[in-house]
Structure 1
Amino acid sequence: MFRLSRLATTATVVAAAFTLLVPAAASAGEPTLSDPRALANFNFDAGETPENIALEPDGSANVTLAHARQVVRVDGHGTHRLLSVLPSVPDPNTPGIGAAVVTGIVRAKDGTLYVNYATGTSETGIWRIGPHGGTAVQIAQLPADSLPNGLALDEKRGVFYVADSARGLVWRVPLKGGTATIWAAGSVLQPLGESVGYEAGANGIKLHGDAVWVSNTDRWTLLRIPVRRDGTAGSIETRATGLDGIDDFAFTGKDDTVLAALITDSTIAHIRPDGTHDTALTAPDGLSNPTAVALHDKTVYVTNASYFAVPPNPTVLTAHLTHDEDPDTSGGSGNRS
């Protein structure tokens, strides 16, 4: 998700959509977030706006800095090391943004990183970065009028899924690179209007429980798209509504409990399997237009892009995750409502 005014200046299957709020298996316990703190700070004026996150096995965080076109690795002490800079593009024309931005990121089992790069030119698509950083290489191209945002990787099937915020659909791309095809489309994936400075339909995306889950920022919804045995998309289900400005999200375990970043409200929402939701963290906890959530053991990571804040305060924030029946020894307290 990007703020335009300040930063811009310095398919194969069309899935039928229907609303379905289906109760899933009961959660093992209500998640609680405590002890929120800034792990790493960034320079907004340099375009260092943390946008998305992929974690290493040791808990280090690979983070995309959207307008700086950078990917950095943040260790447990908050030190960040530059891994790669996406190439400068003459006259970028990303839909609704104008600037070239690096967005979603995923990590393969061998440590290879893949990122979405949106430019409004032929450089728009998926780019590969080695496990230790280095020059990014484009492996797949997406249309110039697309805005690839969230990125998910299914190594078992050998494919990526890309949430396109501008065109309001989900692309499927071979892991080895090559031609992108439309995997799922429909009105529930499309944007409504410029609710956050530009049209933002399908945004965050995750694989969970033999399905692709997608957030729609304009429509305030969390969607589930089953993956059929032949790899095609099933009918799109609306699993939660009323999530003002939902961006990317993460699952807390094997059930369908979700922690979601609500960029416009500067909150982290706790979404239950039945679609009901409440608030886990808010701005007083250190949130500043959060864009993504990731989990490692009992640590939750949040990217704060701070697109709308005055003054801006972009950070990577961490918090401690417990469930109701778990002992919480963190000593901190988070917000719940």
Structure 2
Amino acid sequence: MSRIKEKSERRVEQRSTGRLPRLAGAVAAAAALGLLATGPASGDEPTVSHPRIIAHFDFAAGQTPENIALESDGSADLTFAYARQIAHVTHTGDTRILATLPAVANPSTPKVGAAVVLGIARAHDGALYVNYATGTSETGIWRLGTDGSAPVQIAKLPTNGFPNGLALDERRGVLYAADSVRGTVWSVPRTGGEPTAWAVGSVLNPLPAPAAGFGANGLRFHRDAVWVSNTDTGTLLRIPVRDNGSAGAIETRATGLAGIDDFGFVAAHEDTAFAALPVTNQVALVRADGAHTVVLTQQDGLSNPTAVAVRGRTAYVTSAAYFTQKDPDLLLARLHRRLR
């Protein structure tokens, strides 16, 4: 048994020092495309304080938290990209694995070569949806129900794509997925079925080499619009949803967010957001007018942040440690308003 364990540990180490940095190396190139622009602080803008890490994860085991969905009780559901897992983390940091996506014999995922679980969305009934990128027929959207059964694929997406960010429009019953390689936002009925290329355009595309090759990345449904980040161009985009459900004209709402990954809005009624900038180990506050300011850094505990979510007065930040290759974690910070 000890020899079997040693072989298994060597395989995990090879994965952590080989495949994981491939994603990091690709995204790092995006940092050269722009510098973080800052703007003057407004009198009532949100700020964060008292950052604290509530959970540490195992990088060698592939526990690289890529995306986050929040529960009503303040707990969080995370995707561990390279472990192919969905995890539940309480507000005190206790972590439980909810499910593991099925292994793929010969994954050929664009950009990374490994099977990875990426975006996650939660429905009001507790069902979880995740994007699984494998380079095979398993690529697509998977559903984890509330009955404890194994995840089920509800929609297939192109095998040569990279389904990354994911969001649910509960009222319309539509899931939206950002494809980082194909520069496409896919729409899929929540019940599953054939995907539709809902939004395409040059602003969603990745840039040619030597850029990272990651276009549309993070995705949120917010105030009747689909918001998407483009990692290569460092932009935050807004796509309004028309009355008939089709995509409106794509708007560029912020630029200069070098290497942006996912993001989360401060409140349901406003367009101010926190954006994860993994290359520079920062989280930026992005105001509705596009100006942005760094509010969290590596000194606060970030280790290549990948996603941000907000509930009430708490901001949640996942760090995957793709570059540092140490201490992936979940960080919480207090959210408050700056007084005039």
TM superposition score category, shorter chain reference: 0.7 to 0.9
Q: In structure 2, what is the Cα distance between the partners aligned to 1:194 and 1:77?
A: 43
Going from structure 1 to structure 2, the CA distance change for 1:148 and 1:159 (only over 3 Å counts) comes to same
Helix, strand or coil for the counterpart of 1:68? coil
Going from structure 1 to structure 2, the CA distance change for 1:128 and 1:273 (only over 3 Å counts) comes to same
Native 8 Å contact 1:269 1:278 kept in 2: yes
* Offset, 1:28: 8.5
| 1:198-230 superposed Cα distances (whole Å, 9 cap, x missing partner) | 411000011112211100000000001111111
* Offset, 1:5: 4.5
Aligned-pair RMSD on alpha carbons? 1.9
Match of 1:225 in 2: 239
Match of 2:20 in 1: 7
What letter is aligned with 2:264? A
| 1:265-302 superposed Cα distances (whole Å, 9 cap, x missing partner) | 11001011100111010111111110000111111111
1:66-215 equivalences in 2 (<5 Å) = 66-131=81-146, 133-193=148-208, 198-215=212-229
Native 8 Å contact 2:19 2:112 kept in 1: no
Q: In structure 2, what is the Cα distance between the partners aligned to 1:212 and 1:166?
A: 18
* Offset, 1:4: 9.0
Native 8 Å contact 1:8 1:98 kept in 2: no
Match of 1:303 in 2: 318
Going from structure 1 to structure 2, the CA distance change for 1:132 and 1:28 (only over 3 Å counts) comes to farther
* Offset, 1:7: 2.0
* Offset, 1:324: 1.2
Match of 2:25 in 1: none
* Offset, 1:255: 1.2
Unmatched runs of 5 consecutive residues or more in structure 2: 1-15, 23-41
Native 8 Å contact 1:83 1:132 kept in 2: no
Match of 1:285 in 2: 300
| 1:107-139 superposed Cα distances (whole Å, 9 cap, x missing partner) | 100000010000000000000112364411000
Going from structure 1 to structure 2, the CA distance change for 1:132 and 1:30 (only over 3 Å counts) comes to farther
Helix, strand or coil for the counterpart of 2:203? helix
* Offset, 1:144: 0.2
Match of 2:4 in 1: none
Q: State the TM-score, normalized to the length of structure 1.
A: 0.87
Match of 2:278 in 1: 263
Moved over 3 A (4+): 3-6, 193-196
Aligned to 1:251, which of 265, 287, 305? 265
What letter is aligned with 1:302? V
Helix, strand or coil for the counterpart of 2:261? strand
What letter is aligned with 1:37? R
Identity %: 59
What letter is aligned with 1:219? T
What letter is aligned with 2:138? E
Native 8 Å contact 2:21 2:323 kept in 1: no
| 1:164-186 superposed Cα distances (whole Å, 9 cap, x missing partner) | 00101100101100000100001
* Offset, 1:8: 6.8
Count of aligned positions: 306
Whether 1:57 aligns to 2:57 is no
* Offset, 1:241: 0.2
Q: In structure 1, what is the Cα distance between the partners aligned to 2:208 and 2:214?
A: 7
Native 8 Å contact 2:19 2:113 kept in 1: no
Going from structure 1 to structure 2, the CA distance change for 1:8 and 1:267 (only over 3 Å counts) comes to closer
* Offset, 1:325: 3.3
